[in-house]
């Protein structure tokens, strides 16, 4: 094919075309996040690179350690130490007083419980004794009529009276003693001889008491000074 122009121009033009072709080759970008050769993670463009050992950011544990070191390095003034000791001593004294108060309350509670228990036991015994008083009246009546002079019933009556004595039961049946309205009930008064005060001359029905408690007053005839 015939060429127009000189040969140098054609050679120069072909060189420029080849140079442009070389410059327009496609660019291949490797966007893989892991380097296939080293296995290390890659950081995409625009993200901050991982801190190196020289400029590594402090972790939370390091910050706490630093804060603890700072606090440990702070010296507490002597005045604050004395104040803390005084506060601890005051608190110990308060706790000791609370303990003593609780101990006293417990001792009082235990005494009250024991006292209530003793009173409850005494009332139970008194209830039983009161229920047996009519039986004792029948025993007295039988003895006065001579029905308990001997025999098995006399032995049973004696055992009953002795058993009740172990529970503190006492008979009120004395004659010739001064009249006492706390343990005697005067049914009849009659003039007496050679007496200066009211005196029990006869017991119509025996009375009973348990300790200091009078279960039943004795019904008596009282002789008064003439």
Mean pLDDT over 81-86 rounds to: 67
- Arithmetic mean of pLDDT, 15-43: 57
C-alpha angle 153/155/160, rounded to 5°? 95
More confident residue, 224 or 65: 224
Q: Round to the nearest angstrom and report the end-to-end CA distance of the chain.
A: 190
Across the chain, mean pLDDT equals 77
β-strand pairing of 169-172 with 218-225: unpaired
Judged against a pLDDT cut of 50, whether residue 226 lies above it is answered with: yes
Identify the three-state secondary structure at position 92.
helix
Q: Confidence class of residue 11 from pLDDT cuts 50, 70 and 90?
A: very low
pLDDT tens per residue across span 114-131 = 999 999 988 999 999 999
Among 63-72, 125-134, 180-189, the least confident range: 63-72
Whole-structure pTM value? 0.52
pLDDT computed for residue 42 by the predictor: 61
Please tell me what DSSP assigns to residue 25: P
Higher pLDDT, 87 or 58: 87
pLDDT of residue 31: 63
Q: List the helix and strand counts (H, then E) for the chain.
A: 4, 6
pLDDT at 131: 94
């Amino acid at each position: 094919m015939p060429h127009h122009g000189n040969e140098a121009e054609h050679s120069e033009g072909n060189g420029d075309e080849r140079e442009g072709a070389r410059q327009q080759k496609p660019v291949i970008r490797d966007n893989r996040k892991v380097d296939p050769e080293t296995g290390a993670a890659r950081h995409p463009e625009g993200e901050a690179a991982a801190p190196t050992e020289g400029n590594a950011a402090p972790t939370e544990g390091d910050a706490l350690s630093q804060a603890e070191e700072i606090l440990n390095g702070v010296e507490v003034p002597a005045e604050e130490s004395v104040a803390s000791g005084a506060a601890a001593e005051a608190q110990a004294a308060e706790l000791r007083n609370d303990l003593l108060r609780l101990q006293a309350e417990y001792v009082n509670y235990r005494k009250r419980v024991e006292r209530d228990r003793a009173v409850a036991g005494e009332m139970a015994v008194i209830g039983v004794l009161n229920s047996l008083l009519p039986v004792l009246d029948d025993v007295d009546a039988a003895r006065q009529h001579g029905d308990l002079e001997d025999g098995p019933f006399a032995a049973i009556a004696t055992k009953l009276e002795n058993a009740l004595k172990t529970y503190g039961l006492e008979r009120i049946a004395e004659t010739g003693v001064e009249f006492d309205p706390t343990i005697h009930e005067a049914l009849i008064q009659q003039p007496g001889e050679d007496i200066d005060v009211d005196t029990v001359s006869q017991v119509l029905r025996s009375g009973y008491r348990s300790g200091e408690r009078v279960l039943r007053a004795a019904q008596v005839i009282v002789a008064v000074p003439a």
